[in-house]
């Protein structure tokens, strides 16, 4: 079964921990899914920024793509997921590399295939001194069940 991109913002409600200066127009969550290399979600400062995706139907996640701004990535990402009505449970830890350069670092992670309705990605350890995270692209691949 071919993998599908599961997280276009029009199909999948998304929440984020914060937006830089509450400037949703310039730095809001929608920019992670718009396909533009010019726009991004930029969190405000603080530890443990996060993104949650609520899928409209049950999915089996197999891969995660995250494109960070160099210097504003996370050294540790915790994935949690659950079925509707259940509590989030830890799926795995991911360890993106940050090259601390202005170019954008793109990470692809194979994920232990998990059936879920909700996915939470917690950015535990920002490479930015103030805890900010900058994501240009977030893609979740897998299949709808």
Which structure tokens are listed for 142? Answer: 């897998």
One digit per residue, the tens of pLDDT, for the chain of length 145 reads 445 565 555 567 899 999 999 999 999 999 998 888 899 999 999 989 999 999 988 998 888 888 898 889 998 999 999 999 999 999 999 888 766 544 455 566 777 778 999 999 999 989 999 999 999 989 888 888 8
Enclosing domain of residue 120: 4-144
Which structure tokens are listed for 86? Answer: 């259940």
pLDDT at position 70, please?
85
Distance between CA 41 and CA 24 in Å, rounded?
A: 9
Distance between CA 109 and CA 107 in Å, rounded?
A: 6
Pairing of strands 77-82, 41-42: unpaired
State how many domains the chain has. Answer: 1
Q: What is the CA radius of gyration of the chain?
A: 14
118 close to 54: Cβ distance less than 8 angstroms: yes
Q: Any idea what the CATH number is for the domain that residue 44 is in?
A: 2.60.120.260
Instruction: For the full predicted model, state whether its pTM sits above 0.75.
Output: yes
Tokens 């309705």 belong to which residue?
Answer: 117
């Amino acid at each position: 079964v071919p993998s599908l991109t599961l997280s276009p913002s029009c199909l999948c409600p998304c929440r984020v921990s914060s937006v830089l200066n509450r400037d949703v127009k310039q730095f809001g969550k929608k920019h992670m899914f718009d396909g533009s290399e010019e726009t991004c979600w930029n969190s405000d400062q603080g530890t443990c920024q996060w993104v949650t995706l609520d899928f409209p139907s049950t999915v089996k996640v197999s891969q995660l793509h995250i494109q960070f701004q160099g210097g504003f990535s996370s050294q540790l990402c915790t994935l949690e997921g659950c079925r509707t009505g259940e509590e989030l449970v830890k799926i795995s830890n991911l360890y993106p590399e940050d090259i601390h350069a202005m170019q954008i670092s793109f990470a692809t992670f194979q994920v232990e295939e998990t059936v879920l309705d909700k996915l939470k990605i917690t950015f535990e350890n920002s490479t930015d001194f103030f805890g900010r995270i900058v994501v240009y692209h977030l893609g979740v691949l897998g299949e709808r069940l």
